[in-house]
Amino acid sequence: MAMKRAATSAIRALSSSSPSSSVSSGSSTRLFHASAESKKIVGVFYKANEYASLNPNFVGSLEGALGIRDWLESQGHQYIVTDDKEGLDSELEKHIPDLHVLITTPFHPAYVTAERIKRAKNLQLLLTAGIGSDHIDLKAAAAAGLTVAEVTGSNVVSVAEDELMRILILVRNFLPGYHQVINGEWNVAAIAYRAYDLEGKTVGTVGAGRIGKLLLQRLKPFNCNLLYHDRLKMDPELEKQTGAKFEEDLDSLLSKCDVVVINTPLTEKTRGMFDKERIAKMKKGVLIVNNARGAIMDTQAVVDACSSGQIGGYSGDVWNPQPAPKDHPWRYMPNQAMTPHISGTTIDGQLRYAAGVKDMLDRYFKGEEFPPQNYIVKEGKLASQYL
């Protein structure tokens, strides 16, 4: 509750200036600086429809608009929100030529292509309300001198908790039991023959950044064998605290794991990383949780492996593309526990990333630097995790 109160108050009362330092700008950087000039800001969010009025803190929706409309308009800025983002006839497309700032989320992403960046002559700033900016062509953004930033850390707790839930759902074979109840059935054997304890199982995370570390900490009490693979080793103290062991070779980690959790960003290196060949190197019946990005997986390879039993269960909330079309094969493959992209958009997470967006807009209007960890593209350079 303390976290929620803090985030709520941050939304309502973000205000006075922090120490100012001007944003330096190279010859290719689109300038943004302190100015009385009115800015056109466009936000792309999912519609809440009848759910919009059920929670006053539901700020991550189209209707909630991050809770910043009154604040922006009181300062003379134009704020347009839409959920219509696809194609040349979309509402977003109408505003591309003259918007200054585009805010979008990973949950209903506006795909910012090189073509859109080229047409956006006034665009200076791309903000992700949440974490994960791979819906943006980051190389094109860097070449155009744009700033790309996200609210780092805003929903890491939300995602880590969700991953732990999914691990337990798969290990305990929960969903068939739930479906029996709503279908009026009772067949314990149909569930129990593939339900296990988490204790003693080997769980590995591919990626041990903020979310991966939180997941390892939360798994510690379950007495699992914990492994992790990452570009960098964790702090020795955290390794000792969690008991997690570093695996430098990814395939070595995968061959040992009963459960694999994907926690790596989507980059050129990780796109399609889990293909038919890599999945075949994993234990037969492996359980996979992926709340990172759908495109890290080869879509058809996952379907085939779930059908053959090579993958014993697959759960996640990320798809390629998003929103997932009705005929997406992951909707219909066996032993899946998929949801729409929800893990990072809890009400608590929304309040945190809304406050973070407001903070960065405030700094943008004043010509101040953002928190360093929030930059994804700055002065033509990409953050290390996207290289």
- Extract the annotated binding site for substrate: 131, 155
Active site residue 155: yes
Catalytic residue among 77, 328, 341, 352: 341
Active site residue 100: no
Which string of DSSP letters, residue by residue, matches 195-218? Answer: ---STT-EEEEE--SHHHHHHHHH
Walk across the sheet containing 40-44 and list its strands: 78-82, 40-44, 101-104, 125-128, 147-150, 375-378, 381-382
d(CA 192, CA 187): 9
Active site residue 341: yes
Provide CB contacts within 8 A for 362, sequence distance 6+.
14, 15
Provide CB contacts within 8 A for 256, sequence distance 6+.
202, 204, 227, 247, 283
Provide CB contacts within 8 A for 74, sequence distance 6+.
none
Catalytic residue among 108, 166, 229, 293: 293
Q: Which residues are annotated as a binding site for NAD(+)?
A: 210-211, 230, 265-269, 291, 317, 341-344
Catalytic residue among 155, 173, 350, 374: 155
Catalytic residue among 173, 263, 322, 335: 322
The kind and range of the H/E element at 147 are strand 147-150
d(CA 177, CA 187): 8
Nearest-5° angle of CA 227, CA 231, CA 236?
55
Q: Which residues are annotated as a binding site?
A: 131, 155, 210-211, 230, 265-269, 291, 317, 341-344
* Active site residue ranges: 155, 293, 322, 341
